[in-house]
A and B are shown apart, each in its own frame.
Chain A
Amino acid sequence: MPLRLATQVTGTFVALAALASWSVADAQDDAAALQTAVLAGSCANCHGTDGHSPGAIPSLAGKKEEDLLKALTAFKQGKAKVTVMTRLAKGYTDEQLAALAHYFATRE
């Protein structure tokens, strides 16, 4: 929906007030959004809510999507010398890792 794109661009919800009608497509979007949020929920436990880390574990929010995905892929393939992410990334499909990279890249 065009108005959703407006939301995407501005990053605010002001545009929502102009939403004319609610449709099945919106419900599908909401369900998908909830699904990604569920997937990302376990990451917040270490990386902070929405990837804003208050401590020593790196923040993820707003990092470049391709960098995040590259890191996650390297973790999954066991190519990175790290402490815990290799063990965790192996638990997700490539599609899930892509969704996670997109999710955290789009947090402000």
Chain B
Amino acid sequence: MTTRRSFLSLAGAGLALPWLPRPARAQAKAGRVIIIGGGFGGATAAHYLRRYDPQLEVTLVEPAANFVTCPFSNAVIGGLRDLASITHGYGGLERMGVRMARLAAEAVDPAGRTVRLAGGETLPYDRLILAPGIDIRWNGVEGYGPEAAERAPHAWKGGPQTALLRRQLEAMEDGGTVIIAVPASPFRCPPGPYERASLIAHFLKTSKAKSKILILDSNEEFSKQKLFMQAWEALYPGMIEWVPASQDGKVVRVDAASLTVETEFGTKHKAAVLNLIPPQTAGRIAVDSGLTNEAGWVPVTARTFEAAKAPGVHVVGDAAVASPMPKSAFCANAQAKVVAATVVAALRGLPAPEPSWANTCYSLLAPDYGISVAGVYRLEGDAVKAVEGAGGVSPLDAPPAFRREEAKFAVGWYQAITQDTFAG
């Protein structure tokens, strides 16, 4: 790959500069790109489409006025931050020239290349990027519907659910058991439940020290498991119990009124606070548009992240099947940038760029204790592959100073990715 002569790399500051040669821009037909969903995937796509090609007409469809991130929501639940500190607006993107359609998308017509918004208006597009995140698979755990979620919050989308779980923990009497139920993989943010357990333990240790946390898991193992368990022993001895599926950890039924869960082999557990993380699917619009597989996720062509069932519709973020990349904000952001470049190339008649992705999931186990798992990914044939020899988890034998550094960098990462996603 040669970059010496490349225009972008020769140019200085890159913000919103028309880097394509003017005659080319004059020749090109107007490109209209619609993005559905203003979270990590969608907002990043909007930002980078405008950076790469300010001639594009970019419309971001998102009903919410602000976006509350899931990253660092566990810090809110643990009492280390407030909700405002993880809330982001769309002003930066608007200043970049992104047009906001503040409504939900109701239907997609890939053949006619239109999106129908709530209220009935129909928008035409040349390219569509779908980034609707996840939806809860209601009744995936028997008895768990929207009403039950008001008693037993999932807090797996940022916002009111996050605040509700925090309030419940604050109100809980000392000596109670907090149950965290974890669904079978794949789900959004593989290390998320265990980071949450850690930060809840941090809160309980300092204010309700007789309380316990019980993790009922539908899986046999989890992300960064050795690091988590090592830290739990050091930081929160005896407070966190983890029960894998084979030891009857899989929750199959819930009675939200009595905060009781029942596991696969019939054991009942009563909680003082019940955080039921339910099974998930791609955001509903992807399911309703017929793009998903039986498991509820959208299979995509790895090179362009176009939906297998609808070429021309790019799907990024949690909704897509991108394994071995996890469902993380980092990956949603990374995928969106590759897709933005792919879309610009397609609309400009340039060859599609060779994809390159990465991931790093930081987890905060205490304010000064951070760990991470990293990976670098590339296209091999028509599949996403982790680059061998790269990536991996933080060392198990690291001194406290190392964990402190990673805790600091976790915060740095959050500042960087939210700036990079929301353009400000």
Contact = CB atoms under 8 A, between A and B. Distances in A.
Given A55-B415, A90-B390, A92-B376, A49 B21 contact: no
Contact of B338 (A38, A43, A88, A91): A38
Interface stretch (B12-20, B195-203, B234-242, B291-299): B12-20
Contacts of A49: 15, 47, 419-420, 423
A106 interface: yes
A48 B21 CA distance: 26
Interface in A12-46: 12-13, 16-17, 19, 21-22, 26-39, 41-46
Contact of A46 (B14, B345, B412): B412
Interface string A1-21: 000100110011100110101
Interface residues of A, number: 56
Given A55-B411, A56-B409, A13 B17 contact: yes
A20 B406 CA distance: 51
Contact of A21 (B15, B23, B348, B392): B23
Contact of B374 (A41, A55, A88): A88
Contact of B417 (A19, A45, A56): A45
Interface residues of B, number: 73
Contact of B13 (A84, A89, A108): A108
Contact of B15 (A31, A38, A47, A50): A50
B21 A106 contact: no
Contacts of A4: 5, 7, 10
Contact of A16 (B18, B349, B372): B18
A16 B21 contact: yes
A35 B354 contact: yes
Given A16-B21, A30-B350, A50 B372 contact: no
Given A13-B18, A88-B374, A99 B3 contact: yes
Contacts of A42: 334, 337, 356-358, 376
A56 B408 contact: yes
A103 B360 CA distance: 22
Contacts of B12: 11-12, 106-108
B143 interface: no
Contact of A34 (B8, B22, B374): B8
Nearest to A95: B1
B3 A32 contact: yes
B33 interface: no
Contacts of A21: 23
Interface string B319-357: 000000000001001100110010011001111011111
Contact of B5 (A32, A48, A54, A55): A32
A37 B94 CA distance: 22
B351 A31 contact: yes
A43 to B, nearest CB: 8
Given A38-B354, A45-B334, A48-B416, A87 B390 contact: yes
Interface of B: 1-15, 17-24, 27, 47-48, 52, 330, 333-334, 337-338, 341, 344-345, 348-351, 353-358, 360, 372, 374-378, 387, 389-392, 394, 402, 405-406, 408-409, 411-417, 419-420, 423
Given A83-B402, A103-B8, 6 more contacts: A7-B11, A35-B1, A35-B6, A37-B52, A84-B374, A96-B1
28 contacts: A7-B11, A8-B11, A16-B21, A22-B23, A27-B350, A29-B5, A33-B3, A34-B8, A34-B344, A39-B356, A43-B358, A45-B416, A46-B409, A49-B15, A49-B47, A54-B416, A55-B411, A55-B412, A57-B409, A83-B402, A84-B360, A84-B394, A90-B376, A91-B358, A91-B375, A91-B387, A95-B1, A107-B13
